[in-house]
Amino acid sequence: MSAATEKIRSTPLDERYEKAHAAWRNLTIRKTVRARLGEMAAGPERCMYCGESRGATVDHFEPVARNPLRTFDWLNHLLACTPCNSHEKGEQFPLDADGHPLLIDPTAEDPFEHLLLTLSLGVYRPLTPKGQATIDVLGLNRRGLPNGRMHARKVVELALHAWDRAHAHARSDETQKHVQTVQDQPFADVCQSMLRQAFSPGADLVFSDAPDLLALLRRDDLRAALLR
């Protein structure tokens, strides 16, 4: 990787992008990066932006067109689905007035500091300008995603109640199976949001239709099983 970066660095500035772009087109390199990202993914290899589809492509968080020297920078590679990577983000990389990226970097930042998931609608709301830019650039509320998140909420709810019943009877292989169901779900952000919002000031309102679920989400033994 560093040899590839050095080759780009030794290229005149105005030719760097072309050089980097051509080097990245080398299928062997792309496949190697993709495979290593896949090995590092916890559980199913989902898109690191939307959490829905398979992360079939390697996204450059900072686009090659903007910074060719980061083409082979390991920390600049994210697993992403084609809709997030190519159809939505493309080469967009908005900056704030101080020149800092306005996109949430899922490898380095806590998305929930910038985004709030409205669990009843499956829609993300911004908490900060960075959250707003991330929603816009990645199309986080695009058609299909809110419904998928609402479905995930339902599946998680059913699995957690099933976990509770199995746990009450000390059936540990069954409890593990239900934890696995939650972990294999697309939209891991939904379960994370549920666990977090269970302790938010508005929790009673957020879970007003499911007080049993709220009580369950607040239990230490369940949280330990899910966060293990």
User: Which residues contact Zn ion (rule: CB under 5 A)?
Assistant: 47, 49-50, 81, 84
Nearer to Zn ion, 89 or 167 (CB): 89
Alpha carbons 70 and 108: distance in angstroms, whole number: 16
C-beta separation of 149 from 122 below 8 A: yes
Nearer to Zn ion, 84 or 152 (CB): 84
The vertex-91 CA angle with 88 and 96, nearest 5°, equals 95
Nearer to Zn ion, 81 or 214 (CB): 81
H/E segment holding residue 121: none
CA distances from 70 to 49, 80, 96 (A): 19, 17, 20
The neighbour count for residue 33, using CB atoms within 10 Å, is 17
Alpha carbons 91 and 66: distance in angstroms, whole number: 8
Give me the least distance between CB of 88 and Zn ion, in Å please.
8
Give me the least distance between CB of 147 and Zn ion, in Å please.
15
Give me the least distance between CB of 84 and Zn ion, in Å please.
3
Nearer to Zn ion, 30 or 142 (CB): 142
Give me the least distance between CB of 85 and Zn ion, in Å please.
7
Alpha carbons 223 and 228: distance in angstroms, whole number: 8
- What phi and psi, each to the nearest 5 degrees, are found at residue 124? -85, 135
Nearer to Zn ion, 36 or 87 (CB): 87
Give me the least distance between CB of 47 and Zn ion, in Å please.
3
